Structure 1
Amino acid sequence: MKTNLKLLWYGVLFLCIQYLSAQKEEIWKETTVFEFNEPYETITINYDDEEFVFNVTEKTKFLLGKKQRIAKERISIGSTVDVAVVIENRKRMLTKILLNKDEYGEVKKFEGVIESYEGDTAVIDGRKVALTDKTIIKCNGGSDCACSKGRSFLGFDELQLGSFLTVYGEQNGDGVYMASEIEVCKNTHGKVDQEYMLNLSKDFNASNLNQFKNIPADVFKAANGLHNGTIKLGNLEFKLLDDIRVQGYINMIGNRILPTYAKEESFSEEHEVIFRFYVIESDVPNASALPNGMIFIHTGLLRLMENEAQIATVLGHEIAHVTYEHGIRKYKTTRFTNSNLGEKTSKWLKKTFKKKINMEGTLVGNALNTTLEYTTPETVMSLFNKKNETQSDRVGLYYMLEAGYDPREAASFWKIMMENTGNQKFMNKVFTSTLGMVNNIETDLGTTDYDDLGEDGMGVLVKSILETVYTSHPLVIKRLGDINHLLSTTYTNTDFYQLEVGKESFDKHMRKLKE
């Protein structure tokens, strides 16, 4: 009897020790999966710009949303997930992982532009949408919609391509959304849009751009001309590549993948958007777009690429930022509030500074805020927005496919970026190049100048400028995950062998640049 009591006591003691060694469950929101492969015993995630390895057990729950159980194989590189973790014996144990339902689940409502249609099937937001006999199509009556609230439409043929639509419906087994209701907004260019474009014109200075006068017969002749010289975006000055053949080549690809409606003269006139493409001579692997249709791609990015389809991947992504009015829409939602750029970045800046700089007092924080806004204005500030970037990936993939490019090269491109942004030697070179560019800025900030930031502050400033989808390792992995998901779902039945990669043409035009 005594032996049994003793064993029972030891058992209780063991359970108490186990209980005490396991801390309270923590919930980490919006982490990014970096690695999760067979036999699925560990998972590597990124959180707070740091990598963590969790142990996966038979008790780990894999969920879509909060309740729906899914196979662990649904979790892939780049997935955005919420995780629940406990620490046992100084090890992180994954208890639960929740895949975002809006991201990889069955979206029942989404907004996007109608890109094309054939009969009762259209492409909206890069997704296939079909009408049924019960689908209701009506105007939502917004101030910029140019149609009366509640007015009905019979089909896609009564809608203007490039219009913004909100789709309600469910996805069938073939990946097509069967619409129950569609709200229409024709997307006119109202007073707020005009106000935004006026402010945008103050954010860049193209007075030092020179137009090439004599264009060889075998070089693409852009409607707005081909250029060299310099351009100023905010307080940063960039030199355009002085190579008419490369500039023409990039403009040829860009114009090829533009959606049909965006090529119309009426679109340019109504929206104050003229698509033109510029190659910036910079080692920083980046690309960007202004809402007026000016799209920039750096030589540092081109040197990493392998073919024409990969250029189309980047240009398609940037074009989508313009056609889906991401900059203008952000302006419309923030102009009536106090959520300006400085306030939006302040949380991120303070979070970053807590790790690197003593934040007693606000001198350094205020200096950085002011310098960041002054250096890179709101319209070209690359603050990552997950929804917009995912949408641009999806729509850009459609643009390149419609132009005849193989969308699998989008995944190949992001793999290249994943390898390079994960290479510390490469990123140190990029950091040094950007630091040199910032140090050469002539500023009239007065007492709040770059000297106030100090060495650590300058480091944070440079990293904030580099925090783009092309130079941030976590964001690059996120992009790769999004593309792979689209290829395995939306484009699973695509005949890829009929599509173009463009290796020969790429090598011909990029040979000198890659020397």
Structure 2
Amino acid sequence: MDWPDGRGDPGPALAGGSSKKLQGIVERVQADRFLVDSSWVVPASGALFTGKARQVGRIKTGYWAEVDGKWREGGIFRADRIKTDEDYPGHTFQGQLKSQGLQEADKIGKGKQAYTHPEVVAYVSNIGMSVVPEWAKSQFKFQFGVIRDPTLNAFALPDGSIFVHTGLLARVENDSQLAAILGHEATHVTQRHGARGYKKQLTTFLPAMIGAEIVGTAVGDDKNSFVKAATALGLNLTLSAAVNGYGRSQEDQADRVGMRYMVEAGYDPTPAPRVWDIFNETYGDQSKVENFFYGNHSTNAARKKNQQEEIRRHYSDPAALKITRPVNEEGYQKAMLPLTRDNSMLDFEAKRYPLAKAGFERVLRHLPEDPASLTYLGRIARLSSDQPGRFPEAEERFRKAIQSDPRYPDAHRELGRLLASQKKRSEAKAQLKQYLDLAPVDAPDRRDVRAELAKL
């Protein structure tokens, strides 16, 4: 989206008359202005140009720019000093990092934790490609993948490979929120955050990660299988991006630029700040390694406030917005139903029962007779020792699952176990036998069920 008169132009918060500094990759150039760090920059009268270009007309897309100046009404950054260069800090590392990123992305895509449901992956990829700016598509081979992991995480590699965990996709509520997340990740690629921060990562984060693994220190959640798998495969770029992120200033820049990407793609930015509430509801406002955007980042509360201010100052004028992709909560959640169910099973296995329950309940709002969700909700009810009515609720769930699909074996197994615990041996035996008749011959718990049956 162009902002020819500067109205509604996004950028860091207005700061009265104080001097500010912007820096980043130049993304667009118009007759008298250029776009950097999501903001249109206009030289002030008598502005000092240093470096490669000595006037706006000689600045090219892809140049590195550092500008000092002040904000004016409407969001335009009036620059007193403009320094440009053909090369950005760390550019000598970019080729190496792109090659390594591509190799690591290939390993992730072929790994056991790659989530390959075709419709889900296509849905994520379509939204991801929609927020990638056109100029960047010729410079990077963007690809989007999904990782089977219940933590709330997403990360980008320098080659343009972007991955989202099932845990995050299962809790995002609509297309606009996902567009904000993927826009944020795309910014890490387009702004070359990997190369720009490479030296710091080498001297701080990676040695700490390696040391933590050597001494057995838990990196975030000690059951985070993705972190363990990435460590075992030696995916250093992946660990750096997924665990530590790119540092506070670059993460904050990705929030700003990523929001511009989603707005220019036609998404409504209004739901975006709600993402930070989702994080707080899940983890609280703390820095944990399993949370995306974390590490050295601003807190969730601060980032939510920053995004709300961005919207209020720069995207609140309906006349300046061209929303061609309205908020689509119903469509998004329906598209994610297989993933939401699968991720809730992962939450259940990790004993994150409240999160698992919320996920299965979301599935049932769209598929009220889904036997797997009903069965798992019954199991969660049975495990809820603080609820006096847990056994009747569990039994009701199991029986409804069987009524929905009599050939779903797990519902028979769980109902049989519940009845056995209540000394209802005859019906318990019938249900356990039914499970053995329906379950695959290589079901891992067949031996256990036979042993339970023998005790009855």
Whole-angstrom CA distance in 2 between matches of 1:239 and 1:482: 33
- Mapping of 1:155-304 within 5 angstroms? 155=56, 157-187=57-87, 191-200=92-101, 204=104, 206=106, 209=109, 230-231=110-111, 238-242=113-117, 244-264=118-138, 267=139, 273-304=140-171
Which residue does 1:341 correspond to in 2?
206
Structure 1 unaligned runs (5+)?
A: 1-101, 140-150, 210-229, 232-236, 268-272, 350-363, 428-462
User: C-alpha offsets along residues 226-285 of structure 1, whole Å, 9 cap, x if unaligned?
Assistant: xxxx33xxxxx522232x122112111111111121022xx2xxxxx3111112222212
Do 1:406 and 1:496's aligned partners in 2 also have CA atoms closer than 8 Å? Answer: no
How many residues were matched structurally?
Answer: 312
Which residue does 1:399 correspond to in 2?
261
User: C-alpha offsets along residues 269-313 of structure 1, whole Å, 9 cap, x if unaligned?
Assistant: xxxx31111122222121111111100012211121221111101
- TM-score, L = length of structure 2: 0.59
Structure 2 unaligned runs (5+)?
A: 1-11, 220-226, 341-362, 364-456
User: C-alpha offsets along residues 116-170 of structure 1, whole Å, 9 cap, x if unaligned?
Assistant: 243323321012211234233342xxxxxxxxxxx44332x43222322111111
- Mapping of 1:497-508 within 5 angstroms? 498-499=322-323, 500-503=325-328, 505-508=331-334
User: Which has more strand, going by share of residues?
Assistant: 1
Do 1:241 and 1:279's aligned partners in 2 also have CA atoms closer than 8 Å? Answer: yes
User: Which has more helix, going by share of residues?
Assistant: 2
Which residue does 2:244 correspond to in 1?
383
**Equivalent of 2:49 in 132, 137, 145:** 137
Which residue does 2:217 correspond to in 1?
368
The one-letter amino acid of 2:142's match is F
Which residue does 1:41 correspond to in 2?
none
The one-letter amino acid of 2:69's match is G
Whole-angstrom CA distance in 1 between matches of 2:107 and 2:206: 26
Whole-angstrom CA distance in 2 between matches of 1:404 and 1:110: 25
Do 2:102 and 2:161's aligned partners in 1 also have CA atoms closer than 8 Å? Answer: no
Which residue does 1:485 correspond to in 2?
309
User: C-alpha offsets along residues 333-371 of structure 1, whole Å, 9 cap, x if unaligned?
Assistant: 566xx546225897xx7xxxxxxxxxxxxxx98443999
Which residue does 1:324 correspond to in 2?
191
Q: Give the SS at the match of 1:131.
A: strand
Whole-angstrom CA distance in 1 between matches of 2:294 and 2:217: 23
User: C-alpha offsets along residues 172-197 of structure 1, whole Å, 9 cap, x if unaligned?
Assistant: 13322101121112237964323334
Whole-angstrom CA distance in 1 between matches of 2:263 and 2:172: 18
**Cα distance 1:297–1:112, how it changes in 2: closer, same or farther (>3 A)?**
same
Do 1:417 and 1:470's aligned partners in 2 also have CA atoms closer than 8 Å? Answer: no
**Cα distance 1:344–1:365, how it changes in 2: closer, same or farther (>3 A)?**
closer
User: C-alpha offsets along residues 32-77 of structure 1, whole Å, 9 cap, x if unaligned?
Assistant: xxxxxxxxxxxxxxxxxxxxxxxxxxxxxxxxxxxxxxxxxxxxxx
Whole-angstrom CA distance in 1 between matches of 2:320 and 2:282: 27
Whole-angstrom CA distance in 2 between matches of 1:240 and 1:486: 34
Q: Give the SS at the match of 1:410.
A: coil
- TM-score, L = length of structure 1: 0.53
Do 1:125 and 1:394's aligned partners in 2 also have CA atoms closer than 8 Å? Answer: yes
Whole-angstrom CA distance in 2 between matches of 1:473 and 1:110: 19
Q: Give the SS at the match of 2:27.
A: strand
